[in-house]
């Protein structure tokens, strides 16, 4: 079943004077604004226009219907000794109340169809971005550009547990936002790796289900520079509320230099792979990887969450054979939430996080694994 919690909240929020409008929407809105945002794409403005048109049609109908009702209730009240009119089964009244609503519906249907067909016209895009939902983060891949990365929640856990103050973008900050150019048709190819997710950015009027094994399409041509935020809009497990979306829309020049820099980083990571690192270097890097990738389940202290996520302190795998440890992190464990990180992290990050686990929280194994060994492990498995 589709429980679309965010939409539900949005509508409840609008009805209850905006008290529950999700922060991603509320951010751009002045306090007490009750209406939906207009967004920054032609489509989002069209949708807003349709919404307003329908609202005003409803207002006019409401005024006429309730007006007639109240006028007859007051002016033709029994206390005024009025006699009821008798136009039962009047032919022309029946014709009127069938045709007038039909005409109104047709008038509303034409512009909505036009907008819907534009929304679905994903052809001739300038840029293609593959968006993959994971439990619980988004992966972005610029097709044909050799640039791909994960975008993780970066709200500090202190704010989540009420130790630090929350900023305006509470649970809406990521370590690496999606960067896109203005005025270009960007096609989003949306899918998922594990369970259902949904990619939702209200300012673009884009909300698409992310389904494993399917690719849904959406597109946006952004007209104003800025940072736009959204959320996963499909209840996808424990940390559904912890996989925000942040999109930075920048000029074409800025986008190009960002892309060039990102490609340089990828190339640099590849050269790092061949290097040997010391135990300290690996542990230091591994701690950061652990905090961004593994902590949500296995906990900052490595002890996991009893009953749900296992401890990594002194266990058979994390203090056992290196090969078993590499295997579970690279390949995951089918049927559990322990994912195959081999396709998500670079060999260097994998080597670092494994080394970290073996030497943190009192797991004093004193051993380490290098990136090149992880790369070999993955390659051997392919043959
Ligand atoms: Cu999700």
- Terminal-residue alpha carbon distance, the chain: 40
Q: Which residues contact 285 (CB under 8 A, 6 or more apart)?
A: 277, 348, 349, 352, 356
Number of H helices, E strands in the chain: 11, 10
Laid out side by side, the sheet with 127-134 consists of 147-151, 137-142, 127-134, 186-192, 216-220
CATH number of the structural domain spanning residue 75: 1.10.287
pLDDT single digits (tens) 130-142: 999 998 899 999 9
The reply to whether 334 and 249 lie within a common domain is no
Question: Which pLDDT belongs to residue 49?
Answer: 95
Does 266 or 207 have the greater pLDDT score? 207
Distance 134 CA to ligand 1 centre (A): 7
Token pair for 169: 């973008």
Question: Which pLDDT belongs to residue 246?
Answer: 96
The reply to whether 258 and 134 lie within a common domain is yes
Domain termination site, one of 236, 266, 296: 266
Contact 318, 243 (CB under 8 A): no
> Mean pLDDT over residues 61-79, rounded?
91
Distance 227 CA to ligand 1 centre (A): 21
Question: Which pLDDT belongs to residue 261?
Answer: 94
Percentage above 90 pLDDT, the chain: 60
The reply to whether 196 and 113 lie within a common domain is no
The reply to whether 143 and 247 lie within a common domain is yes
The reply to whether 116 and 155 lie within a common domain is no
Return phi, psi of residue 230, to 5°.
-150, -170
Residue with tokens 């960002």: 258
CA distance 255 to 253: 5
Contact 42, 223 (CB under 8 A): yes
Distance 269 CA to ligand 1 centre (A): 28
Q: Is 280 part of a structural domain of the chain?
A: yes
pLDDT single digits (tens) 172-226: 999 899 999 999 999 999 999 989 999 999 999 999 999 999 999 999 999 999 9
Please state whether the peptide bond connecting residue 136 to the residue before it is cis, i.e. omega within 30 degrees of 0.
yes
Return contacts of 71-79, CB within 8 angstroms, 24+ apart: none
Structural domain of 191: 127-266
The reply to whether 179 and 224 lie within a common domain is yes
Q: Is 29 part of a structural domain of the chain?
A: no
The reply to whether 115 and 233 lie within a common domain is no
Distance 319 CA to ligand 1 centre (A): 32
Contact 353, 346 (CB under 8 A): no
Distance 163 CA to ligand 1 centre (A): 26
The reply to whether 337 and 364 lie within a common domain is yes
Question: Which pLDDT belongs to residue 21?
Answer: 46
Contact 180, 249 (CB under 8 A): yes
Q: Is 317 part of a structural domain of the chain?
A: yes
Distance 168 CA to ligand 1 centre (A): 22
The reply to whether 160 and 285 lie within a common domain is no
The two beta strands, 197-201 and 186-192, are unpaired
DSSP state at residue 314 = S
CATH number of the structural domain spanning residue 331: 1.10.760.10
* pTM score of the predicted model: 0.72
E strands, the chain, are: 127-134, 137-142, 147-151, 178-181, 186-192, 197-201, 206-210, 216-220, 226-232, 245-250
CATH number of the structural domain spanning residue 139: 2.60.40.420
Distance 137 CA to ligand 1 centre (A): 7
Sign (positive or negative) of CA dihedral 166, 149, 194, 307: negative
Q: Is 60 part of a structural domain of the chain?
A: yes
- Number of domains comprising the chain: 3
Residue with tokens 């884009």: 206
CA distance 154 to 77: 65
The reply to whether 213 and 341 lie within a common domain is no
Distance 1 CA to ligand 1 centre (A): 15
Q: Which residues contact 139 (CB under 8 A, 6 or more apart)?
A: 130, 131, 132, 148, 149, 150, 151, 193, 344
Token pair for 305: 């969450």
The reply to whether 207 and 237 lie within a common domain is yes
Q: Is 27 part of a structural domain of the chain?
A: no
Q: What is the mean pLDDT of the chain?
A: 88
Q: Is 186 part of a structural domain of the chain?
A: yes
Q: Is 6 helix (H, G, I), strand (E, B) or coil?
A: helix
Distance 99 CA to ligand 1 centre (A): 45
The reply to whether 298 and 371 lie within a common domain is yes
Domain termination site, one of 266, 282, 298: 266
């Amino acid at each position: 079943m589709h429980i679309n919690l965010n939409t539900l909240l949005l509508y409840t929020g609008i009805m209850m004077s905006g008290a529950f409008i999700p922060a991603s929407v509320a951010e751009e809105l002045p306090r007490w604004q009750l209406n939906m945002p207009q967004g920054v794409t032609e489509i989002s403005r069209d949708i807003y226009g349709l919404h307003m048109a329908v609202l005003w049609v409803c207002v006019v109908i409401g005024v006429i219907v309730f007006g007639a009702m109240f006028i007859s209730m007051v002016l033709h009240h029994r206390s005024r000794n009025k006699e009821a009119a008798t136009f039962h089964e009047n032919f022309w009244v029946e014709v009127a109340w069938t045709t007038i609503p039909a005409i109104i519906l047709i008038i509303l249907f034409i512009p909505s169809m036009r907008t819907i067909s534009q929304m679905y016209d994903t052809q001739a895009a300038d840029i293609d971005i593959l968006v993959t939902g994971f439990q619980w983060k988004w992966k972005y891949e610029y097709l044909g550009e050799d640039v791909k990365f994960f975008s993780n929640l970066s709200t500090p856990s202190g704010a989540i547990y009420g130790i630090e103050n929350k900023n305006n973008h509470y649970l809406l900050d990521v370590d690496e936002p999606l960067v896109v150019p203005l005025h270009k048709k960007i096609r989003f190819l949306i899918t998922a790796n594990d369970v259902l997710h949904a990619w939702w950015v209200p300012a673009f009027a884009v909300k698409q289900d992310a389904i494993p094994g399917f690719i849904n399409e959406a597109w946006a041509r952004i007209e104003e520079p800025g940072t736009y935020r959204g959320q996963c809009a499909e209840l996808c497990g424990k940390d559904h509320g912890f996989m925000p979306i942040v999109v930075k829309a920048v000029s074409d020049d800025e986008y190009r230099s960002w892309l060039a820099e990102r490609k340089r980083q990828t190339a640099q990571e590849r050269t790092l792979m061949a290097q040997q690192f010391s135990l300290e270097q690996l542990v230091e890097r591994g701690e950061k990887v652990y905090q961004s990738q593994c902590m949500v389940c296995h906990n900052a202290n490595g002890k996991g969450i009893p009953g749900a996520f296992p401890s990594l302190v002194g266990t058979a795998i994390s203090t056992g054979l290196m090969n078993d440890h590499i295997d579970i992190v690279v390949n995951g464990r089918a049927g559990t939430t322990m994912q195959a990180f081999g396709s998500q992290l670079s060999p260097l990050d994998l080597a670092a996080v494994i080394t970290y686990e073996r030497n943190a929280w009192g797991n004093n194994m004193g051993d380490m694994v290098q990136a090149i060994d992880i790369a070999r492990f993955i390659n051997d498995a392919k043959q």
